[in-house]
Amino acid sequence: MSSNGKVLSPYDRRVQLVVATIKQHEKLGDKATHSLAVEVLHALDHIPEKVR
């Protein structure tokens, strides 16, 4: 569960993990950080399994 009591999907948990990682290393706003996290996950999800 998230801090607001909602059940998160596995995708949303992955986005939160990437958001937290980006925030540790960059000073971006929340919206920019979330957008970047979604783009990073999209890129990772499209790497062929053999390459991963």
> Residue 28's domain spans which residues?
10-45
Which pLDDT belongs to residue 49? 82
Mean pLDDT of 29-48: 96
Residue 1 in this model has a pLDDT that exceeds 60: no
Does residue 26 lie in a domain region? yes
Does residue 51 lie in a domain region? no
Does residue 31 lie in a domain region? yes
Does residue 2 lie in a domain region? no
If one counts the domains in the chain, the total is: 1
Mean pLDDT of 2-21: 89
Does residue 25 lie in a domain region? yes
pTM of the model: 0.78
Percent above pLDDT 90 for the chain:
79
Q: What is the DSSP letter of 5?
A: S
Question: Token digits for 42?
Answer: 């999209």
Does residue 4 lie in a domain region? no
Residue 45 in this model has a pLDDT that exceeds 70: yes
Question: Token digits for 2?
Answer: 């998230």
